[in-house]
């Protein structure tokens, strides 16, 4: 079954400096668009992200339709969408993720907008009352890489898992991590947490947790953007495929050059001992940096180094998003 990531809109009530959404023009998917996607794929789950999905004019109709089809749903939000979602509809979601990039109110509000911390915390309390599973989602950047352990602990104190995605330079490299910051962040994180799932290819490799084949993006997962384009990854910069192509191709869309490019291994990596697990690292990052045929810039092998990361596995159940994107999910100690 296919894991589908959908951005119903690229509209948002916040304007975060690190966001990957296109902020030049507002796009919204329609209920008819969603029906086409559902009729074209054997869908196991749908995760909503990109913009603040509740700002889509047909948000409630779309969620009700997906519920009627019995599709498992997850949602990533800054808190706004929950404020306009009634309790009975909120219960449709298996997991709700809240974007929190700093472990304290002052920095969170300064980065994302005044009052955001309180909005998130109130929404988490509401989810707890309704018995809905909650996760904290952070973007790992050069401005918060030392906070990952504290963020994991914050999530744990709220009864939530902690998920972290490494920053990708969609529009700016201002928040890019250095090689040293990247690896230090994961060391500190794993020192203070138990690992639920790791699909970030390099991190997975040097934890010795083989997932066999590098990035999970574009394998049995697909992204539908608010402008109706299909992508193997939310960070993939361009796409020549649309929802109409999906109607014609169905699941053969995964055999198109666009999707196969996510698993193209750089020549340098072919003889590496880690190629079967790493696959050349993050293909989207290589594309965005203009170096698609080079190894991932965070690869220690090209520097003549070998990484060893602390590892303490968790018995917690893996969330729905764990196998569809390059991400790291832990439980704070």
pLDDT tens digits for 103-126? Answer: 999 999 999 999 999 999 999 999
**Quick one: pLDDT at residue 93?**
96
**Quick one: pLDDT at residue 23?**
79
pTM score, whole prediction: 0.94
Exposed/middle/buried for residue 313 (C-beta within 10 Å: 0-12, 13-18, 19+): exposed
pLDDT above 70 for 322: no
For residues 170 and 212, the model is more confident at 170
Rounded Cα gap, residues 104 and 214, in angstroms = 34
pLDDT tens digits for 130-173? Answer: 999 999 999 999 999 999 999 999 999 999 999 999 999 999 99
**Quick one: pLDDT at residue 323?**
66
How confident is the model over 69-96, as a mean pLDDT? 96
How confident is the model over 96-109, as a mean pLDDT? 97
Select, from the ranges 212-216, 296-300, 304-308, the one with the highest average predicted confidence (pLDDT).
Answer: 296-300
pLDDT above 60 for 212: no
**Quick one: pLDDT at residue 218?**
81
Q: Where are the domains of the chain?
A: 2-261+308-332
How confident is the model over 254-275, as a mean pLDDT? 92
**Quick one: pLDDT at residue 333?**
82
How confident is the model over 276-280, as a mean pLDDT? 89
How confident is the model over 26-46, as a mean pLDDT? 97
The CATH-assigned architecture of domain 2-261+308-332 is: Alpha-Beta Barrel (3.20)
pLDDT above 60 for 264: yes
Rounded Cα gap, residues 233 and 225, in angstroms = 10
Dihedral angle computed from the Cα positions of residues 179, 183, 185 and 188, in that order, rounded to the nearest 10 degrees: -150
């Amino acid at each position: 079954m296919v894991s589908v990531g959908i951005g119903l809109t690229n509209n948002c009530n916040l304007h975060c400096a690190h966001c990957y959404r296109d902020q030049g023009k507002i796009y919204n998917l329609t209920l008819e668009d969603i029906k086409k996607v559902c009729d074209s794929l054997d869908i196991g789950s749908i995760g909503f992200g990109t913009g603040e999905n509740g700002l889509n004019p047909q948000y409630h109709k779309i969620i009700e339709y997906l519920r009627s089809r019995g599709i498992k749903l997850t949602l990533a939000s800054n808190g706004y969408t929950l404020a306009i979602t009634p309790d009975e509809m909120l219960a449709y979601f298996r997991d709700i993720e809240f974007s929190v990039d700093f472990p304290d109110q002052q920095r969170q509000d300064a980065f994302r907008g005044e009052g955001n911390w309180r909005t998130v915390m109130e929404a988490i309390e509401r989810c707890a009352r309704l018995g809905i599973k909650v996760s904290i989602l952070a973007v790992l950047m050069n401005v918060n890489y030392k906070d990952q352990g504290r963020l994991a602990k914050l999530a744990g104190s709220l009864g939530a898992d902690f998920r972290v995605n490494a920053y990708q330079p969609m529009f700016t490299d201002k928040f890019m991590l250095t090689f040293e910051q990247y690896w230090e962040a994961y060391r500190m994180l794993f020192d203070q947490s138990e690992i639920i799932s790791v699909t970030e290819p390099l991190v997975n490799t040097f934890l010795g947790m083989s997932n066999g084949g590098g990035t999970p993006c574009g394998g049995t997962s697909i992204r539908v953007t608010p402008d109706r384009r299909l992508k193997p990854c939310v960070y993939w910069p361009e796409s020549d495929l649309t929802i109409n192509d999906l109607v014609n191709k169905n699941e053969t869309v995964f055999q198109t050059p666009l999707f196969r490019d996510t698993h193209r291994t750089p020549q340098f990596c072919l003889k590496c001992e880690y190629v079967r697990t790493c696959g050349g690292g993050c293909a989207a990052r290589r594309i965005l940096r203009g170096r698609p045929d080079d190894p991932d810039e965070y690869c220690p092998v090209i520097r003549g180094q070998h990484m060893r990361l602390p590892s303490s596995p968790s018995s917690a159940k893996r969330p729905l998003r764990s196998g569809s994107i390059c991400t790291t999910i832990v439980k704070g100690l």
